[in-house]
Structure formats: structure tokens, C-alpha cells
Amino acid sequence: MNEGFSLQIDRSLTPSPVLPALIYAEGIVPPEQTKDAPSFLAEAIARARATGEGFIPAEIRTRVRRMLKHGKYRASGRGRPASEFLLRAALTGEFPLINGPVDVNNAISLISGLPGSIFDADISGRELLLRWGLPRESYVFNRSGQTIDLEDLLVVCRSTGGGWEPCGNPVKDAMTTKVTEETRNVIAVLYAPVDEPVERLASFAARYAELLRTHCGGERAGYQIPTQPE
């Protein structure tokens, strides 16, 4: 039972470069600022530091970057996938500790090598759309008011009634829909290249949902892998 959560893949992505997983949870406990890394995250960081850059195999990094390469967008420099930023943070001892749901997202992203986004479902809505970013689209991604240009970037959008508004992508998510201490329901997207083995993606999505239950206290949690557009 998906509790009404869904992710559409826009036909503009045909043929789609991405095989996404949608993960969700309802009734989580109020998220608090993380002071110490939970065991599942501390273990992943330790493994990454012990392994080095190869913790995310070059083959996976290459395929994820290829997934994002479209039009004018290039997945390099500040436009690198979030999973690469997280690996660098783990290796330098600067891994961000945010709150329960975001820590889960970041742990799964680091372990899998796949970028992920997580949103407050009561702000983003439970129906999301995946498409390419349009010219002149952007949003604020941090408290300092910095913006990211979304043109030709893979974006997750929320319904605004009159259309679809970007709120996340595999690099940086929008401030408007981020998880806060007020969040009680979450919806997340794990972005995998279209040639990713479905079984591998499903295993990470299932682990993601499990942690939203066990670590974040979710009363109900699950995942789905949306059907590709024909």
C-alpha cells in the first residue's frame, strides 16, 4: 500500500536516463538536530574513510554523471551529484549531521553512490513529477539565499495547482520543502541511472524505508519504483 504517494516521469524524459525510486514515511517523530552520527551512518562514514575514493566505484560515478548530462548541464564542479559531495565530506571528516530523515537519506546516498532528495511531504505534496529543468528556472537551496540554475538539470517538481514547481534535484534541494522539526511525513527520491540493476536499487530503497521506520519512528513507510514512460 503506497498511502497515496506517487512519482510521475514526464514524457520529456523519453528515453529516460533515470530509474528513480520513491520512498515515503508517515508519522515520524519530530526531527531534532543530530549531535552524534547514528550507528548506521557512523559505520558508512568509517567504511568510506577506510576505502577512500573507491568507496563509490568509478563506474558508478561515471554512470551517475552521465545520467545528469543533458543540454547545457554538466555534472562537474559545483554541479556534481550530491553523492560525490557526501563522499568527499566523509573523507575529509566534515560529514554533515542534520536530522533523522536527512541523515538516513545521506547514509543511503553515500553507501549506494546514488544521489537522493528528501522532502516534507506536507509541503511538497504526495504526488511528484520528474522532468528536465526549464530555462530561467531556479530556486534557493540554503539559508544564505544562494540559488541554483535548473535549466537542463533533472528536477523533481511539486504540484502548485497551476503547474509543476521544482523543489529538488540530484545536486541540491530547495529550502521551501526541506525537512524541519515540524515535519511528520516525508517523501524521498533516489536517482539511479536507467541501466542500474532494479534489484540493487530496490535493496537500497527498502533499506531507506526501513530506517525511516526504525530510526525516525515512522508509523508507515515503503517504497516504489515508478513505471518508465512509453
Q: Distances from the Cα of 47 to the Cαs of 110, 158, 204, 226, in angstroms?
A: 10, 35, 17, 31
pLDDT value at 1 more than 50: no
Average pLDDT over residues 13-26: 95
What is the reported pLDDT for 3?
66
Instruction: Note the pTM of the prediction, 2 decimals.
Output: 0.96
End-to-end CA distance of the chain: 24
Name the residue with higher pLDDT: 79 or 100. Answer: 100
pLDDT digit string, tens, across residues 104-121: 999 999 999 999 999 999
Residue 54: partners with Cβ closer than 8 Å, 6 or more residues away = none
Q: Decide if 110 contacts 45 (C-beta within 8 A).
A: yes
**What topology does CATH give the domain 6-224?**
Phenylalanyl-tRNA Synthetase; Chain B, domain 3 (3.50.40)
Place of cell 568509478: 58
Contact assessment for residue 185 and residue 121, using Cβ atoms and an 8 Å cutoff: yes
- pLDDT-based confidence at residue 227 (cuts at 50, 70, 90): confident
Across the chain, mean pLDDT equals 95
Cell 560525490, located at residue: 84
For the chain, the structural domain boundaries read: 6-224
From its phi and psi, is residue 121 left (phi > 0), alpha (psi between -120 and 50) or beta? alpha
Sign of the dihedral defined by the CA atoms of residues 133, 135, 137, 141, in that order = positive
Q: Give pLDDT, residue 144.
A: 94
The strand order across the sheet containing 164-168 reads: 6-9, 127-132, 154-159, 164-168
Q: Which amino acid is at 98?
A: I
Diameter of the chain by CA atoms? 49
pLDDT tens sequence across 47-97: 999 999 999 999 999 999 999 999 888 888 888 999 999 999 999 999 999
Question: Closest by alpha carbon to 226, among 133, 138, 127?
Answer: 127
| pLDDT (average), residues 118-129 | 98
CA 204, distance to chain mean position in Å, is: 12
Per-residue pLDDT tens digits for 138-180: 999 999 999 999 999 999 999 998 899 999 999 999 999 999 9
List 23's β-bridge partners, or say none. Answer: 188, 223
Cα–Cα distance for residue pair 20/77, rounded to 1 Å: 23
SS3 category, 154: strand
Q: pLDDT over 70 for what percent of the chain?
A: 98
Residues 6+ apart with CB under 8 A from 169: 117, 133, 148, 150, 153, 154, 155, 156
Q: What does the CA dihedral 158, 215, 211, 45 come to, rounded to 10 degrees?
A: 100
207 pLDDT more than 80: yes
Average pLDDT over residues 36-40: 97
